[in-house]
Structure 1
Amino acid sequence: MEEIKLSARNLNLFFGNKQILKNLSIDFPKNQVTSLIGPSGCGKSTLLRSFNRMHDLSPDARIEGKLKMDEMDLYNKANSVTEIRKRIGMVFQKPNPLPKSIFENLSYALHIHNFPKAEIPGLIENALKESFLWDEVKEELKKPAVKLSGGQQQRLCIARTVVLRPEVILMDEPCSALDPISTRKIEDLILKLKKDYTIIIVTHNMQQAQRISDKVAFMYLGELIEFDSCENIFSNPKQELTKEYIGGHFG
């Protein structure tokens, strides 16, 4: 029996009068990679961002339904947004390193969350090793992070997420701006990280979804059309719309 880490029940999300997510219910299994696929504008990133309260930053956003991690109601006002974002990390489409050194990019969040100062160098080294970046940067941790290549910057952003030891990592098209070699490194990293983290990734790359996913959710016009194992979605989809999308007929 799969252990469920994140779940949405009867989720409706509006920006102003426009409804983006429509009565969506889904369970994300612990220590698995789930890919969200579907054409642009179907609500994949909106769903992803709802789990770590990113829509709190949008004054016209309105959410109905239940979003939970384990048994915690993510939208209960008693729960700290800062704590939720520590437990549910986010990696964005475009690498967004801080205008600081490699070391400071990781230490910044640790200071905010009051990690003991003596532990910080070890935590940073471990996060860079987990992100397959340590061997490339260990001699130049004072170097500005913006001087790294695009692929290195994205792995640094992943290291910046895992340094806080979250339980869930949300990834919004993390490879879309990267070359094939960097993409392969990120995919290898995702497969390694799922031993310790639950990962949800938005991707438009069907081959990538097949390479890294345990589960795949196909979304269309704000609705969840089909959610199943990666193998079933790509070899035996139950819905005609899923079949047409993965066959390249639209999107």
Structure 2
Amino acid sequence: MKESKLSAHDLNMWFGKKQVLKGIDIDFAERQVTSLVGPSGCGKSTLLRAFNRMHDLSSDARVEGTLKLDERDLYDRASSVTETRKRIGMVFQKPNPLPKSIYDNLAYALKLHKFPKEEIPVMIQSALEESFIWDEVKDELDKPAVKLSGGQQQRLCIARTVVLRPEVILMDEPCSALDPISTGKIEELIVKLKENYTIVIVTHNMQQAQRISDKVAFMYLGEVIEYGTTDAIFNNPKNELTQNYISGYFG
């Protein structure tokens, strides 16, 4: 049995007076892919970003409850936000390469975290290989990253995440801006990456959730309504709301 790597217990969150997460209890197993599904505005991305401490940047955000990586409380006063984001990487909906070369997009993070200079080229090649993009860019590493196609940019952003060797990768709709061929490559990559990483992905694509997930959590109005194996959620949901959502008869 795969142990819990990332977890939330009695998680409640507000932006100002509006409560956006309500009593969330969930855990994500090590080296599995979990999809968060549900209608827009139900709290999926908010939950994802809570683990990465992204809400620290919002002055009106308030978090109550416990979020843990292994047994470490991510919101403990002694916890370093920088260290948390190194251990829990984030890939966003829209590819966001830095206005630098392909090489420097990865080197920047490694220099920031003071990795030995002589190790950087090897780490960059390894991350690009692991992200299924090395063969496409190995001869033009000095090319501006923004010149890559959308799908290549997203794989570069995934490489920029894995180059730091995180333990968890959070993905917020990483394929929503991509064409079907690029989406297929990212899905193939996600399935391969779970050999080494715990992955939590927000997706509105039910077919994608079925293809890549070990587990699925259905969220609605800030709550986790149902959480289980992909097969159970799609073929034998226990909650009527879940059934309606995955069947397309929602709202």
TM-score (norm 1): 0.99
Which runs of structure 2 are paired with 1:95-110 in the superposition (5 Å)? 95-110=95-110
How many residues of Structure 1 are paired with residues of Structure 2 in the alignment?
251
Deviation at 1:250, TM superposition (A): 1.7
Tell me the SS of whatever aligns to 1:187: helix
Give the equivalent residue in structure 2 for 1:27.
Answer: 27
Give the equivalent residue in structure 2 for 1:207.
Answer: 207
Once the two structures are aligned, what percentage of the paired residues are identical? 76
- State the distance in 2 between where 1:70 and 1:220 align: 27
Give the equivalent residue in structure 2 for 1:129.
Answer: 129
- State the distance in 1 between where 2:139 and 2:81 align: 35
Give the equivalent residue in structure 1 for 2:139.
Answer: 139
- State the distance in 2 between where 1:64 and 1:212 align: 31
Deviation at 1:2, TM superposition (A): 2.5
Give the equivalent residue in structure 1 for 2:231.
Answer: 231
- State the distance in 2 between where 1:20 and 1:79 align: 24
Tell me the SS of whatever aligns to 2:208: helix
Give the equivalent residue in structure 2 for 1:55.
Answer: 55
Q: In the alignment, residue 173 of structure 1 is paired with which amino acid?
A: E
Q: Where in structure 1 do 4 or more consecutive aligned residues deviate above 3 Å?
A: none
Give the equivalent residue in structure 2 for 1:87.
Answer: 87
Q: Deviations over 1:84-143 (max 9, x none)?
A: 000000000000000000000000000000000000000000000000000000000000
Q: In the alignment, residue 96 of structure 2 is paired with which amino acid?
A: N
Deviation at 1:77, TM superposition (A): 1.3
Does 1:182 pair with 2:182? yes
Give the equivalent residue in structure 1 for 2:15.
Answer: 15
Tell me the SS of whatever aligns to 2:170: strand
Give the equivalent residue in structure 2 for 1:192.
Answer: 192
Q: CA RMSD for the aligned pairs? A: 0.5
Deviation at 1:179, TM superposition (A): 0.2
Q: In the alignment, residue 101 of structure 1 is paired with which amino acid?
A: S
- State the distance in 1 between where 2:77 and 2:196 align: 28
- State the distance in 1 between where 2:214 and 2:43 align: 21
Q: In the alignment, residue 248 of structure 1 is paired with which amino acid?
A: G
Q: In the alignment, residue 77 of structure 1 is paired with which amino acid?
A: R
- State the distance in 1 between where 2:175 and 2:204 align: 10
Tell me the SS of whatever aligns to 1:106: helix
- State the distance in 1 between where 2:177 and 2:203 align: 12
Q: Deviations over 1:36-76 (max 9, x none)?
A: 00000000000000001000000000000000000100000
Unaligned runs of 5+ in 1: none
Tell me the SS of whatever aligns to 1:34: strand
- State the distance in 1 between where 2:100 and 2:191 align: 29
